[in-house]
A and B are shown apart, each in its own frame.
Chain A
């Protein structure tokens, strides 16, 4: 795609600066990245579900058994080492200087019901612990050392682990408890194995969900590359919260454990406000926000569910490509309910009730504020950026889903950049630069998609409207080219 950069006209820049100064108080609503967003009847309207910032650290409890053991009972990773591994995974998030999120091992998983404490090693144990998590009593991290619990529950030897939010407070909009289960069989040295770095990065991702983060899509073009051999610039910008672990582990490539997108979003959910303790940095001193709305070609109807990426402008004086290394994404309409006015995607559709599935109430999650239907907000490090829209990869469904719509819609227009002459007939390859100051929000970065139907009807088939019916990684040519280049 040709990238032509135009500087914002001085008058527009002045207006943007004025708007930024007027908006130095951080905007109240994160706009992409949160796993769940409150609605009018469940949680705080248009606010993401997060752990209570006033009650940090998040208190989790860890299994008292080994993390990994062989089928004959030989311990491969003992409990102390397992606890240290879990702490290291949480530390990846806790060590973000601009985020106030912290997590603490509150001790062993508490005895509850039929579980007398100690090693969670049977389904009875797990069932009891699960009950305490749903009750909000504790947030357990379970070590299924030999995979036997997963075998009983799932019956599939390929499940490496999971994480989940157990209980949400529908009034305060806070996460009350969460859980994770790690299948130690994948570290036992027998059968299919992950390296320690891969296993840990996988659970850093899962603990991102545990902390309230959703998947995110930046540098989707890695699917055009050879697995585990992604190029350095794309890998640097590839979030840990990308839905699929496709490239080599970040730390194995000498990169920091989190990408700019991960750092921006965990900070947006849990912004640091002080330099305390030393090393912490107020989020508003390093990051600002880009916001706007995505519209159909009519310039009026908002588009929900397309990916918006702010990419740093490249510095030609460095050998690196900053536009690939520094990218942060949001999904349009991410705060808006995915179910308003229809009964196709309601909660528990096979058993619809007035609570979970009516044309009036929609999903219990997400706001009904129509201004949010196509809006986005992207937290970015202070700097200069281009802003672009693209489809969420259609392969990202179910467990790899992104944003409010699952399965995602295809971008009803063409992929394009924002520019100062934004219209339904502008050149989609022309971009303008957005300058973001720390603590400021640049508003009005609206994109009018080119060549869309006047309005997307949710009962139509998105696939038929797609200009790109298949995602990059479902198309044959790019990967073949990459393979041949290799």
Chain B
């Protein structure tokens, strides 16, 4: 570590610069590319955010467009963080990759997730915001604590987030401020993710 007296500011400044300069760190659902977005953007676009477990997932054609592959996912909803609450949620997601068609896009029965979902399209299709960026697997660290990790390893999740929140006048607790000011991507405590989502969803 350096001994600069003000690393947080420099780090934030550099991250903001990097975010403005760098559109990439592109990756996505299998076989696809998405633009990187931070948590505020992902939450803002989501019409429904839930925490729950996969009850079932099956691959089937779209009912209207037989050549479009879809995965129909049913979740047991433990908590609704944004949108109308319901005990279960079923949605249909468009998939294209052959591997997704073989393993139901990784929606395994019992998988614990926090899902940030876009509004349903006119075709009845629904995807996580930013695709893999809005799908957080819940893991347990060696001490048994729950952590959330999206399909990009949380890279870019907090990029430029602090100044965005400052500009909106959003105040975070010291714990959440510390969470979003970590300079590098990392697994995020589930409680921190849930609290951040609640704050970001409420300010809209």
Contact = CB atoms under 8 A, between A and B. Distances in A.
Interface of A: 36, 123-124, 126-128, 130-131, 134, 151-166, 168, 179, 186, 192-194, 198, 202, 205-206, 209, 223, 226-228, 243-246, 344-351, 356, 363-364, 393-401, 406-407, 461, 463-464, 469-471, 473-481, 483-486
Contacts of A480: 1, 7, 11, 183-184
Nearest to A127: B65
Contact of A476 (B56, B109, B119, B184): B184
Given A151-B121, A398-B132, A486-B14, A228 B22 contact: yes
Nearest to B58: A351
Given A160-B33, A348-B102, A128 B67 contact: yes
Given A156-B34, A469-B142, A471-B153, A164 B96 contact: yes
Contact of B185 (A151, A153, A474): A474
B198 to A, nearest CB: 22
Contacts of A127: 62, 65-68
Contact of B54 (A350, A477, A484): A350
Interface stretch (B82-90, B123-131, B160-168, B189-197): B123-131
Contacts of B130: 156, 158
B67 A474 contact: no
A176 to B, nearest CB: 12
A156 B10 contact: no
Residue of B2, B99, B127, B137 contacting most chain A CB atoms (<10 Å): B99
A244 B58 CA distance: 28
Contacts of B32: 159-162, 399
Contact of A202 (B33, B68, B142): B33
B155 interface: yes
Interface in B44-95: 45, 54, 56-59, 62, 65-68, 94
Interface of B is mostly: loop
Nearest to B122: A152
Given A228-B18, A463-B139, A398 B184 contact: no
Contacts of A397: 106, 137, 151, 153
A228 B18 CA distance: 8
B183 A476 contact: yes
Contacts of B21: 227-228
B25 interface: yes
Contacts of B54: 350
Contacts of A166: 98
B2 A481 contact: yes
Given A464-B142, A469-B142, A483 B11 contact: yes
B26 interface: yes
B142 A399 contact: no
A349 B104 contact: yes
A366 to B, nearest CB: 12
Nearest to B151: A398
Interface in B108-145: 108-109, 118-123, 125-133, 135, 137, 139-142
A473 B155 contact: yes
A474 B186 CA distance: 4
A153 B14 contact: no
A202 B26 contact: yes
Contact of B28 (A126, A159, A345, A475): A159
A368 B106 CA distance: 23
Contacts of A399: 27-32, 131-132, 151
Contacts of A484: 1-2, 4, 7, 10-11
A484 B153 CA distance: 23
28 contacts: A128-B67, A153-B94, A153-B123, A154-B131, A155-B125, A156-B45, A159-B33, A164-B97, A166-B98, A186-B35, A192-B35, A194-B24, A244-B152, A347-B103, A351-B104, A394-B153, A397-B106, A397-B153, A398-B132, A398-B135, A470-B187, A473-B155, A473-B185, A474-B186, A477-B1, A478-B184, A481-B1, A484-B11
B108 A350 contact: yes
B106 to A, nearest CB: 6
A405 to B, nearest CB: 12
B37 interface: yes
B177 interface: no
A165 B104 CA distance: 16
A463 B122 CA distance: 41
Residue of B2, B4, B56, B185 contacting most chain A CB atoms (<10 Å): B185
B201 interface: no
Contacts of B35: 158, 160, 186, 192
A80 to B, nearest CB: 24
A279 to B, nearest CB: 31
A486 B21 CA distance: 15
A227 B103 contact: no
